[in-house]
């Protein structure tokens, strides 16, 4: 195939891309790039297209949402200098398009992909600061011999890369990138990070040498070398920040309402139907209410529940009540009690090992919703923005300890420790960022060391928890929220949503993570976010304008899945397969004899075995199986 050529087809195996850029004098590995893109088939079932020249190769899989005919990728500038592949949505695309056309730019399509091309051409490396939305993109400058990667400020969309010997490979999924690596081996430090937290923190991944581009970062690679820089930073959370807003509650309420309305409106931009995940909690219910106001029609909503013995965990009754109040077109998926018996389906969702038991129901709900819509709005991010987690109460009191008379500080610290049963309340005041991090760790190395190959921990060449080095001790509620915004949110919650929904070829959008709303919410004083130790107080007050008070004030419930019962069930044969697998033993991480012993104890119903650790190892095994597929 000649240089600078394109292949395309329709109906090929949500959006995803893979590519390679070489400065070693050799052509890109075209067949490997195409194979990597095929692994992204479910992210983009509507179209497949590729492009290459003598230094770069780009391959794309598309889920058509906006400009169904004109938005095909890879997209090139009119002069052929720039080529882009892009996953996500640019929500300020209409405004940017209007501005650019007023300056004489002629658009060939209605696609936001073309907006990225024009903005990058005009503004260079600063262009990414002008984009509002969820995105990951690769931009190739054929004239300058330069490749740029960028990921949105909050990390809604993932992006992986590998650089070795002047060869930069990249992809929307780790499994796709694996086909572009010189060799595939596990990052041992990441395994320890995963066993402790149930996730792998950026920039590391579970594969040696492969990296996640952190949220709000841009990577530039050319003959001068590799440069990774942050293009967005949340400054307003610092106690002494000039960006902090000392405003009253009612003013904050009005501004948050305006910003959230704006975000919901912008995220309804689509040429295909848009629905909503509706749990019945305040976060998703408020988003759905604003969607209904904006569209004036019956919003398609989707909820999930458990039947039989798990009915006690079923929140679908609350979702039904919200749907009835708002008049939505409601769809309800009821899962059987033995839903986790189909846990093997996780191997398809687990592009990275993610030990969140909600990922399977999230995938099943996404697959259910995909029968009706291509896009849903979801409620992720509200807890981080508006202090919804119980652990924030402790951080708030810790901050207040320094602002009250000395005689009462001990009483306040005692009260903080007594606020709940979780480990987070045992570290007030927090002395180090690691104290805060340990509070939500599932387990520390001593808890699982006996399951690892002898000497494994001693042989680590890197600190598994070096990601903590970029954080200081959380002195305040705002800094504790920032810690979560930079770690738990992108590496766990958003990663789970992306992997589960993309597996079902469904795009999930998150209105609470609009950049302007995030910046404003984090600039609010603690007294507005935490009122009388009531978390998410501002958001609940706002919800009362659109929803019954019983819904707006209902206590937070997590997405509870009966994973512990499944872990100990005699019908669960996954552990036996894992413990006896020669391939798994050959990894050199786990001690096969110790695994078999723990599995036997689980079968006997022993409570001496930590079922949480067993579950994380099982998920790791499923991920490993999927990686080989």
Ranges of each domain in the chain: 5-230, 249-382+489-552, 391-486, 563-628
Give the pLDDT confidence of 430-465 residue by residue, as tens digits: 344 555 566 666 778 888 899 999 999 988 888 888
Give the residue, 497 or 350, on which the prediction is more confident: 497
Q: How confident is the model at residue 339 (pLDDT cuts 50, 70, 90)?
A: low
In the structure encoding, which two tokens stand for residue 257, read together? 């309402």
Name the E strands within 469-513. 507-509
Do you know the residue count of the chain?
A: 629
Name the percent of the chain lying above pLDDT 70: 82
Whether 15 and 66 have beta carbons less than 8 Å apart is answered as no
Comparing CA positions, the residue from 156, 377, 366, 132 lying closest to residue 274 is 377
pLDDT at 26 over 90: yes
Burial of 137 (0-12, 13-18, 19+ CB in 10 A): buried
Coil, helix or strand for 602? Answer: helix
Q: List, in order, residues 6 or more apart from 369 with CB less than 8 Å away.
A: 275, 277, 300, 302, 331, 376, 504, 506
User: Rounded to whole angstroms, how far apart are CA atoms 625 and 621?
Assistant: 6
Whether 188 and 172 have beta carbons less than 8 Å apart is answered as no
pLDDT at 563 over 60: yes
Q: What is the mean pLDDT of the chain?
A: 85
End-to-end CA distance of the chain: 29
Q: How confident is the model at residue 336 (pLDDT cuts 50, 70, 90)?
A: confident
pLDDT for 557 equals 67
pLDDT at 313 over 90: no
Name the percent of the chain lying above pLDDT 90: 56
pLDDT for 334 equals 87
User: Rounded to whole angstroms, how far apart are CA atoms 330 and 314?
Assistant: 16
CATH T-level assignment (fold) for domain 249-382+489-552 = Rossmann fold (3.40.50)
pLDDT at 604 over 60: yes
Whether 33 and 19 have beta carbons less than 8 Å apart is answered as yes
Give the residue, 561 or 1, on which the prediction is more confident: 561
Coil, helix or strand for 462? Answer: coil
Name the E strands within 365-453. 375-377
pLDDT for 611 equals 79
Whether 360 and 561 have beta carbons less than 8 Å apart is answered as yes
Q: Is-cis flag, bond preceding 203, omega within 30?
A: yes
Give the residue, 101 or 571, on which the prediction is more confident: 101
Residue written as tokens 């209902």? Answer: 554
pLDDT at 241 over 90: no
In the structure encoding, which two tokens stand for residue 407, read together? 């005689």
How many other C-beta atoms are found inside a 10 Å radius of the C-beta of residue 256?
Answer: 21
Q: What pTM does this model have?
A: 0.90
The distance of Cα 428 from the centroid of its chain, to the nearest Å, equals 29
In the structure encoding, which two tokens stand for residue 153, read together? 């400020």
Q: Phi and psi of 366, rounded to 5°?
A: -65, -45
Give kind and range of the element (H or E) at residue 207. none
Helices (runs of H) and strands (runs of E) counted in the chain: 26, 18
Coil, helix or strand for 189? Answer: helix
User: Rounded to whole angstroms, how far apart are CA atoms 314 and 318?
Assistant: 9
Give me the residues paired with residue 485 across strands.
none
How many other C-beta atoms are found inside a 10 Å radius of the C-beta of residue 112?
Answer: 25
Comparing CA positions, the residue from 536, 560, 559 lying closest to residue 286 is 536
Average pLDDT over residues 390-410: 63
Burial of 3 (0-12, 13-18, 19+ CB in 10 A): exposed
Give the residue, 293 or 463, on which the prediction is more confident: 293
Average pLDDT over residues 356-365: 89
SS3 content of the chain, % helix, strand, coil (to 5): 45, 15, 40
Coil, helix or strand for 225? Answer: strand
Average pLDDT over residues 281-285: 95
pLDDT for 337 equals 66
Q: How many CA atoms does the CB half-sphere of 465 hold within 13 Å?
A: 16
Structure-derived torsion over alpha carbons of residues 141, 143, 145, 147, reported in degrees to the nearest 10? 0
**Pick from 120-129, 170-179, 416-425: least confident:** 416-425
Burial of 44 (0-12, 13-18, 19+ CB in 10 A): buried
Same fold flag, 5-230 and 249-382+489-552: no
Q: Phi and psi of 216, rounded to 5°?
A: 70, 25
Domain 5-230: give its CATH code. Answer: 3.60.20.10
């Amino acid at each position: 195939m000649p240089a600078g050529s394109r292949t395309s087809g329709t109906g090929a195996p949500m959006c995803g891309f893979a590519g390679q850029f070489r400065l070693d004098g050799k052509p890109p590995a075209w067949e490997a790039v195409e194979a990597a893109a095929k692994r992204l088939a479910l992210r983009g079932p509507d179209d497949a297209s590729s492009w290459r020249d003598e230094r770069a190769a780009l391959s794309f899989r598309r889920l058509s949402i906006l400009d169904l005919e004109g938005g095909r990728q890879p997209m090139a500038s009119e002069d052929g200098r720039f080529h882009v592949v892009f996953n996500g949505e640019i929500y300020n695309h209409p405004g940017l398009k209007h501005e650019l056309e007023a300056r004489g730019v002629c658009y060939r399509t209605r696609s936001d992909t073309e907006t990225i091309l024009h903005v990058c051409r005009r503004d260079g490396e600063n262009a990414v600061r002008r984009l509002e939305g969820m995105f990951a993109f690769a931009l190739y400058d054929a004239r300058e011999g330069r490749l740029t990667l960028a990921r949105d400020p909050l990390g809604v969309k993932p992006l992986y890369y590998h650089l070795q010997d002047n060869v930069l490979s990249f992809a929307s999924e780790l499994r796709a990138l694996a086909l572009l690596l010189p060799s595939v081996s596990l990052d041992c430090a990441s395994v320890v990070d995963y066993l402790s937290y149930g996730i792998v923190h950026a920039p590391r991944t579970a594969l040696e040498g492969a990296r996640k581009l952190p949220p709000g970062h841009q990577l530039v690679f050319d003959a001068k070398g590799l440069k990774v820089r942050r293009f967005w930073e949340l400054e307003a959370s610092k106690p002494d920040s000039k960006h902090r807003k000392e405003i009253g509650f009612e003013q904050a309420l009005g501004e948050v309402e305006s910003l959230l309305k704006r975000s919901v409106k912008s995220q309804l931009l689509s040429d295909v139907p848009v629905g909503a995940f509706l749990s019945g909690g305040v976060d998703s219910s408020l988003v759905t209410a604003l969607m209904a106001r904006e569209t004036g029609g019956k919003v398609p909503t989707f909820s999930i529940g458990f039947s039989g013995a798990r009915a006690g965990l079923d929140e679908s009754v609350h979702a039904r009540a919200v749907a009835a109040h708002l008049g939505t077109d409601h769809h309800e998926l009821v899962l059987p009690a033995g839903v986790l018996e189909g846990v093997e389906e996780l191997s398809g969702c687990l592009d990275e090992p993610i030990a969140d038991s909600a990922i399977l129901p999230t995938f099943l709900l996404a697959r259910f919703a995909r029968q009706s819509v291509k896009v849903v709005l979801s409620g992720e991010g509200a807890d981080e923005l508006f202090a919804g987690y119980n652990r924030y109460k402790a951080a708030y009191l810790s901050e207040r300890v320094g602002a009250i008379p000395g005689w009462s500080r001990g009483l306040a610290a005692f009260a903080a420790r007594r606020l709940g049963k979780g480990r987070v309340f045992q570290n007030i005041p927090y002395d180090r960022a690691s104290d805060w991090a340990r509070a939500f760790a599932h387990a520390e190395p001593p808890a699982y060391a006996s399951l690892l190959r002898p000497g494994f921990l001693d042989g680590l060449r890197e600190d598994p928890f070096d990601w903590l080095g970029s954080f200081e001790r959380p002195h305040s509620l705002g800094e504790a929220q920032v810690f979560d915004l930079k770690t738990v949110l992108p590496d766990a919650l958003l990663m789970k949503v992306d992997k589960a929904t993309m597996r079902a070829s469904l795009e999930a959008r998150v209105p609470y993570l609009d950049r302007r709303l995030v910046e404003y919410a984090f600039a609010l004083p603690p007294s507005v976010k935490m009122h009388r130790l009531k978390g998410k107080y501002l958001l609940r007050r706002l919800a009362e304008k659109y929803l019954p008070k019983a819904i707006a004030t209902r206590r937070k419930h997590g997405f509870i899945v009966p994973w512990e019962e499944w872990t100990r069930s005699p019908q669960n044969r996954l552990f036996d397969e894992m413990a006896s697998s020669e391939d798994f033993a050959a990894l050199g991480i786990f001690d096969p004899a110790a695994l078999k012993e723990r599995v036997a104890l689980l079968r006997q119903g022993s409570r001496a075995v930590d079922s949480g650790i067993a579950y994380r190892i099982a998920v790791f095994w499923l991920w490993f199986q999927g990686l080989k597929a």
